[in-house]
Structure 1
Amino acid sequence: MLKSVKKSRGLFILVIFIGGILGNFLGEFISNNLKSLEIFKIVYNIGLTNPIHLNLKIVEITFGMNFNLNIMSIVGVILAIILYRRY
């Protein structure tokens, strides 16, 4: 019974990422083609601007993550959550 809970969480996270990616593509498409809608041009950058580099002489590790959010990517995530719960 625990495996099905883990699968549904993994699927839930995957659906959220897909919704965000599709929303981001749609937001960029709208902002590039419809110049009058300036609200879609606003992009929020969340994360590290420069990755953290750790050199241990034997191993070098680089950490970094950056999220670029626009209005449509947030709408895509919300729609993905609604569709996941409904179906």
Structure 2
Amino acid sequence: MRKNNWACFLLILAGIVIGGFIGSLLPVQWLNYGQTFGLSSPVVLDFGILCLTFGLSIKITVASILGIIIGIIIYRFL
């Protein structure tokens, strides 16, 4: 049976969210060790009648990486 790529993507995304949530709840310091990258301030495009603001910041922690690994393991057993 062919596996669905969307299911893999959703499990990885859920692993990132749940891992980050667990990392913020637990007082273990090494779970929250990570790196933040992206735009430090948002980019603003003002066209007079339309104003667009773009911004992106991603924080990768040990807990979110563990969540990704658990999501991939769950996907393999589906």
TM-score scaled by structure 2?
A: 0.78
- Name the SS for the 1:58 alignment partner: coil
8 Å CA contact 2:38–2:56 kept in 1: the answer is yes
Q: Which has the higher contact order (CA 8 A, sep 6+)?
A: 2
Once the two structures are overlaid, the 10-residue window that deviates more, 40-49 or 53-62, is 40-49
Q: Say whether 1:71 aligns with 2:62.
A: yes
What residue in structure 2 maps to residue 43 of structure 1? 34
Percent identity at matched positions? 29
Q: What do you get for the CA RMSD once the two structures are aligned?
A: 2.1
Aligned positions, number:
77
Q: Deviation digits for residues 20-74 of structure 1, max 9, x if unmatched? A: 010011111222xxxxx43123232121121111111121111111112211111
The structure where helix makes up a greater share of residues is 1
- Aligned counterparts of 1:9 and 1:51: Cα–Cα separation in 2: 32
1:81 aligned partner: 72
Runs of 4+ in 1 over 3 A off after TM superposition: 8-11
The answer on 1:29 being equivalent to 2:25 is yes
Taking the TM superposition and a 5 Å limit, the aligned residue runs for 1:1-16 are: 8-16=4-12
Distance 1:10 1:55, change over 3 A: farther
Q: TM-score, normalised by structure 1?
A: 0.71
